Amino acid sequence: MTATSQNSTTQTPKRTPLYQSHVDSEGKLVDFSGWELPIHYGSQIEEHDAVRTDAGMFDVSHMVIVDVKGSDAKAWLQKLLANDVDKLKIVGKALYSPMLNEQGGVIDDLIVYLMNEEATEYRIVSNAATRDKDMAQFHKVTEGFEVDLNEREELAMLAVQGPKAVEKLAQVKPSWADTLAGLKPFVGADLTDIEGQDWFVARTGYTGEDGVEVIMHGDEAPAFFEQLKNAGIKPAGLGARDTLRMEAGMNLYGHDMDESVSPYECNMGWTLALKDDRDFVGRKALVSKRQQAKDDNTAMKQVGLLLTSRGVLREGMEVTINQGSDNEQTGIITSGTFSPSLKNSIAIARVPASLSEDDKVQIDLRGKGKFVDVRVLKLPFVRNGKPQFDQ
């Protein structure tokens, strides 16, 4: 159950329009950020492997979809976000960006789509777990801007992912074939003329594989789910979603980043548009803190860790660098799991930026002073089903 409300009555998790589809598919349902969602449908490993080798689908209807309209929509987003929506030159193009607080920490990471040529309409897709503080920040920054925000709670979203995802989706929806064939990564297309109102498809995802995310009205989601399932696209749950995103080196909010973490510390520096003097929320503090961290040698960075011996790397474990030496340093594992693709444990960790390939990196797996060596890797671990490092 979720936390109790102010009147002390217990709140039950919310259900997406695909709740009954999960039940009918024998999904094991759990409470995830206040939503009742499947952790798996019998085998997390099989679901993971289906996405890596064929096609799988995830219910991501709990994500927050907000449509933004107004003459100041672009200017508002340029104030709100650390990345710059001016980069969006064609309708449907997507932009990944952190949204920062005044101290330069990450409130959330989200995707923005340009929805019309005049740059007066956009769509934001953000995380369910941060919904309340995201909406509060959106509205706070609207002061002084002519912009309207419309949260689209009636919509559902399915992520169809894997090397055969687009091919199988085109078989289910032949009328989409031309649209899908021309859809480049991080670009979306309105399907209203083909499928009806509220249908939208984008070549985005959270798995490190090819695929799309499809938005539709909630009432139409169960039938679509069944069509995909009948075409051999395997339903997959939160468990597989987590192992897939970790292999792909993708952050999970609240674990690998939060409001105390700078984008530079979680491998998101590439999302910061700093070349001009655009005054976005958190910019001044972000730049100042980065310089200070360099000056006092406290800068941190994100790396991948691979454990080739037995055991599992877990969130919260301390990373020890050059243990016992004069230059001993420490870091922290922010996400850890067993990788089904690599057959070893992997982790995402935040470590001193000065870490070099000559440093010895170890983990005390059981907290008893018995350190094991781990290999430091540049993320991602896996892309398009293949390891991204020499084995």
- Write down all domains in the chain, each with its CATH number in brackets: 297-387 (2.40.30.110)
Residues 244, 250, 256, CA angle at the centre, nearest 5°? 115
User: What's the mean pLDDT in 173-189?
Assistant: 98
pLDDT digits (tens, 9 = 90+) for 113-169: 999 999 999 999 999 999 999 999 999 999 999 999 999 999 999 999 999 999 999
Task: Please tell me the predicted confidence (pLDDT) of residue 3.
Answer: 35
Distance CA 130, CA 62 (A): 11
What are the tokens at 305? 């860790």
Angle between helices 44-53 and 238-247 in degrees, nearest 10:
50
**Whole-prediction pTM:** 0.95
C-alpha dist (Å) from residue 74 to 30, 71, 131, 181, 214: 38, 8, 21, 29, 24
Residues 170, 176, 178, CA angle at the centre, nearest 5°? 95
Positive or negative, the CA dihedral 69, 75, 81, 85 is positive
Name which of 142, 133, 85 is nearest 108 in CA terms.
Answer: 133
Distance CA 126, CA 135 (A): 10
Contact 333, 317 (CB under 8 A): yes
Give the CA dihedral 12, 244, 378, 310, nearest 10 degrees: 90
In the chain, % of residues over pLDDT 70? 97
10 pLDDT above the threshold of 70: no
277 pLDDT above the threshold of 70: yes
In the chain, % of residues over pLDDT 90? 94
Q: Show Cβ contacts of residue 204 under 8 Å, excluding neighbours closer than 6 positions.
A: 94, 111, 185, 186, 188, 212, 213
Distance CA 172, CA 154 (A): 24
189 pLDDT above the threshold of 60: yes
7 pLDDT above the threshold of 70: no
Task: Please tell me the predicted confidence (pLDDT) of residue 183.
Answer: 97
